[in-house]
Amino acid sequence: MSGELAIRLRGVVKRYGTITAVDGLDLDVPEGTCVGLLGPNGAGKSTTMRMLTGQAIADEGELEVLGFRLPEESKQARAQLGVTPQLDNLDTTLTVEQNLLVFTHLYRIGRSERRAAIERALAMANLGERRDSRVDKLSGGMRRRLLIARALVHRPRLVLLDEPTVGLDPQVRQELWALIDALRAEGTTILMSTHYIEEAQRLGDTVLIMSHGSAVAAGPPSKLVAEHVGREAVEVYGPPAKLAEVETAARAAGLRTRRTGTSISVLGIEAADGRAPEGERRPANLEDVFVLLTGEEIA
């Protein structure tokens, strides 16, 4: 970590009519780190991403990206920024290579470096053999990889990934995680929004949990878990009546609980001194933190 911030947001507010999409958000992304923006649908993640590219203008607050003030200097910031949108917007009738070529122009790569930039992006996304395929002939996973590669042609200092693996099957997701991890290893700063806990936990050096437009917690995943839900949880399964009973008893004993749908988790049992109910013990995780802090269930 260089100690400098690639992204710095202070008290950012964004309203759409009567809806406040982002409500006093503070966000720090130190250079060379990967920050996961975790939150359920509607938490304000995508609006935050749009503000960072100057496509949404904040109503209040300060925004700085790579040292440039937004929205005034947004164009300078965008020149050094790579963006992978949530919704695929590749040119589907063009080939893989043509899509990359267009972006070498949009990102102002000089004529002499264009070829090398395209080759590098193809190699990174492992799409070298499909360079001449039309995009509408690619699988969903390949399209996603191309979408990420397209954001990398100009070697951006900062990459924004908006829900990079949403709607993909587990194998493809792992493939993308490997790609993002390789990018991280190269020292590129990454801000990634996701509503998948596992994704944030695996890839994020730090995670910022968003709910209703503001940050409810921020820090390294393991630290967040230790701080908010302790080391271990016990999971109790059973019919709804039994779950309710366990919940009441645990709370009466001063323990924190969360529902998971089919079971109830009693948290922080390493310090329960025998007050914990019988059940499956498991390490506490980021999902426990999320549900406890926001009261919301997510994937």
Does 112 bind another protein (CB under 8 A)? Our answer is no
Parallel, antiparallel or unpaired: strands 34-38 and 189-194 = parallel
CA-CA distance, 122 to 124, in Å (whole number)? 6
* One of 26, 73, 181, 296 touching another protein (CB under 8 A): 73
Q: Shortest Cβ distance from residue 130 to another protein (Å)?
A: 17
Contact 209, 39 (CB under 8 A): yes
Nearer to another protein, 6 or 215 (CB): 6
Q: Shortest Cβ distance from residue 96 to another protein (Å)?
A: 13
CA-CA distance, 107 to 156, in Å (whole number)? 10
Does 205 bind another protein (CB under 8 A)? Our answer is no
Integer-rounded Cα Rg, in Å, for the chain is 21
Of the candidate spans 73-81, 165-173, 218-226, 286-294, the one that interacts with another protein by CB under 8 A turns out to be: 73-81
Does 244 bind another protein (CB under 8 A)? Our answer is no
Q: Exposed, middle or buried by CB within 10 Å (0-12, 13-18, 19+), for 283?
A: exposed
Nearest to 148 by CA among 187, 190, 93, 202: 190
Nearer to another protein, 5 or 122 (CB): 5
In this structure, how many other beta carbons lie within 10 angstroms of the beta carbon of residue 228? Answer: 21
* One of 12, 37, 45, 68 touching another protein (CB under 8 A): 68
Residue 139, CB-side half-sphere exposure with 13 Å CA sphere:
8
CA-CA distance, 294 to 209, in Å (whole number)? 9
Nearer to another protein, 153 or 176 (CB): 153
Q: Shortest Cβ distance from residue 94 to another protein (Å)?
A: 6
Nearer to another protein, 89 or 171 (CB): 89
Binding site for another protein (CB under 8 A): 3-6, 8, 16, 28, 30-31, 53-57, 64, 66-68, 73, 75-76, 78-81, 83, 85, 87, 89, 91-94, 98, 101-103, 105-108, 150
